Structure formats: structure tokens, C-alpha cells
């Protein structure tokens, strides 16, 4: 299946347990999605590369953590580097906090622990796609020399693409739409993760740190994302 052959958004399911993959695919297809299944980690990047070169490919990746071949965390890192705006939801039986934080800090947009309800997976997929796609409400979101291309999910500083992940883009978007407003970490988490799951404040700090670094690579003398001690963060467009 390809995105061009289906009007429905395509979901790539990377899962080595056939029964789980089939169950999730059945529920997704019953909810209006097209699906493609891969059961080996080594097959993921070549398949995505070929699909992207053809102008097709998935709208979202459901990625198991424990896979034969290349593991899920390595794949998540590679996907983020090559296709920053492609949403990734990680599936795993490992529920330790360190795994949760590592998965999110590598750029995963959500994290679902096994065993799970397939209906929950469908709901999470829809929620992440709502956050990750701005085609229904395109908005340039200009503020100073930093510009948000919300339809293309890009941020440009002096015309240069910052190469943000979907989570970093959402974080910047929230602050840029209210310049000067101070957002607490809890408020930023509510915007970044609409399902209100529990996420460590360190995860928000990590995303802010990476976002600042990408901006400073282009604007080393400017600090547009400011820390407000004991409160949170704000976007301040002035130099």
C-alpha cells in the first residue's frame, strides 16, 4: 500500500509480533487509515527512504522498541535526523521511566506501553496526527525574523530551516503565538501532549535545550527563548 493509492493517511506499523501487528492494523483500517507492516528493524530505513524518494510514505510510524535487527530507539533517532516532521509513536513493554524519557527525548511524539487496547492506539494516532498536521489551518506565524511554516511544519530563521522535530516545532509554535507570555512547564506539556499523560519536567527542559541550540546555530548572538527562573519559558523576539 502507498499513500498515493489511498486517500486515507498511511500508518507504518513496525512490530515483530504478527498477532499484535494484525490487530492494530485491523483497528486502524477500520478507522479509515491505510497501513503497511514491517517486522524487522533493518527493513525500516530502506523502506522509508524508497517511499520518500517516490513522494509517498506514511503519515505516522508506530514503532516497537524491541525489534530484531535495528532496535526502536536507534530507528527513532535516525528517523528524527532524516525526516524531522514524521511523527513517531513508540510501542513497548518496557515501562521504566528511563526508557520513557529516552524515547521522548529522542523525538518520539508519544509512547504506548504493552499491553494496550487497540482502540487506545487508534485514539493516540489520531491525536498525534492532529498535532502534527496543520494543513487545515495554514498560518505563517511570523514573528521578527523567525517564521513558522505551519503547513510544512518548518521553522525558518533568516530563511534557514531549523530542522525541528514535530515536538520541537509544537513547542516553538505555542510560545511564538503568544510573544512575551510566560509558560510553565505544565502548560507546555499540556500543549505538547494533549492526552495529559505524566511526563517529567526534564523532558520539557531537554526539548527547550535542543530548540535553543538549533536557533543559536543560526543566531549565536540572540536569545529568543528565555528562561524565567522558577516559572518556565517565554518567547521574546527582540534581540
In the predicted model, is pLDDT for residue 183 greater than 70? yes
In the three-class reduction of DSSP (H, G, I as helix; E, B as strand; rest coil), residue 29 is classed as helix
Q: What is the pLDDT of residue 82?
A: 85
In the predicted model, is pLDDT for residue 102 greater than 80? no
Q: What is the pLDDT of residue 101?
A: 55
Each residue's pLDDT tens digit, 28-37:
999 999 999 9
102 against 171, higher pLDDT:
171
163 in Cβ contact with 157 (< 8 Å): no
User: Which of 3, 5, 17, 14 has the alpha carbon at shortest distance from 45?
Assistant: 14
In the predicted model, is pLDDT for residue 138 greater than 50? no
Strands 225-228 and 232-235, bridge-based pairing? antiparallel
In the three-class reduction of DSSP (H, G, I as helix; E, B as strand; rest coil), residue 60 is classed as strand
Q: Which of 16-30, 102-116, 134-148, 161-175 shows the lowest mean pLDDT across its residues? A: 134-148
**Phi then psi dihedrals of residue 22, to 5 deg:** -65, -40
In the predicted model, is pLDDT for residue 51 greater than 70? yes
pLDDT interval class at 81 (50, 70, 90): confident
Exposure string for 109-123, b = 16+ CB within 10 A, e = fewer: bbbbeeeeebeebbe
Q: What is the pLDDT of residue 105?
A: 63
For range 43-57, the mean pLDDT: 92
User: Which of 153, 177, 178 has the alpha carbon at shortest distance from 166?
Assistant: 153
In the predicted model, is pLDDT for residue 152 greater than 60? yes
Asked, as a colleague might, if the bond just before 115 is cis with ω within 30 of 0, I would say yes
For range 102-115, the mean pLDDT: 74
pTM: 0.59
Q: Which of 4-13, 35-44, 155-164, 186-195 shows the lowest mean pLDDT across its residues? A: 186-195
For range 62-77, the mean pLDDT: 93
150 against 63, higher pLDDT:
63
Cross-strand bridge partners of residue 233: 183, 227
For range 71-76, the mean pLDDT: 91
Average pLDDT, the chain: 82
Q: Which of 90-99, 174-183, 200-209 shows the lowest mean pLDDT across its residues? A: 90-99
Amino acid at each position: 500500500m502507498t499513500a498515493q493509492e489511498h486517500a486515507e493517511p498511511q500508518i507504518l506499523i513496525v512490530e515483530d509480533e504478527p498477532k499484535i501487528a494484525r490487530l492494530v492494523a485491523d483497528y486502524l483500517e477500520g478507522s479509515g487509515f491505510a497501513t503497511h507492516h514491517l517486522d524487522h528493524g533493518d527493513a525500516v530505513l530502506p523502506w522509508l527512504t524508497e517511499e520518500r524518494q517516490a513522494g509517498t510514505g506514511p503519515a505516522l510510524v508506530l514503532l516497537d522498541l524491541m525489534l530484531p535487527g535495528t532496535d526502536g530507539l536507534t530507528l527513532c533517532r535516525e528517523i528524527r535526523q532524516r525526516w524531522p516532521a514524521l511523527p513517531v509513536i513508540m510501542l513497548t513493554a518496557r515501562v521504566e521511566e528511563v526508557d520513557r524519557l529516552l524515547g521522548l527525548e529522542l523525538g518520539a511524539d508519544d509512547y504506548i506501553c504493552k499491553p494496550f487496547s487497540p482502540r487506545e492506539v487508534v485514539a493516540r494516532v489520531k491525536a498525534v496526527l492532529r498535532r502534527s498536521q496543520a494543513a487545515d489551518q495554514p498560518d505563517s506565524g511570523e514573528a521578527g525574523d523567525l517564521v513558522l511554516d505551519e503547513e510544512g511544519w518548518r521553522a525558518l530563521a533568516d530563511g534557514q530551516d531549523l530542522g525541528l522535530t514535530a515536538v520541537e516545532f509544537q513547542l516553538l509554535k505555542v510560545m511564538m503565538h503568544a510573544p512575551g507570555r510566560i509558560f510553565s512547564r505544565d502548560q507546555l506539556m499540556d500543549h505538547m501532549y494533549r492526552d495529559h499523560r505524566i511526563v517529567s519536567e526534564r523532558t520539557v527542559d531537554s526539548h527547550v535545550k535542543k530548540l535553543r541550540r538549533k536557533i543559536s546555530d543560526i543566531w549565536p548572538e540572540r536569545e529568543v527563548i528565555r528562561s524565567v527562573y522558577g516559572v518556565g519559558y517565554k518567547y521574546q523576539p527582540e534581540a
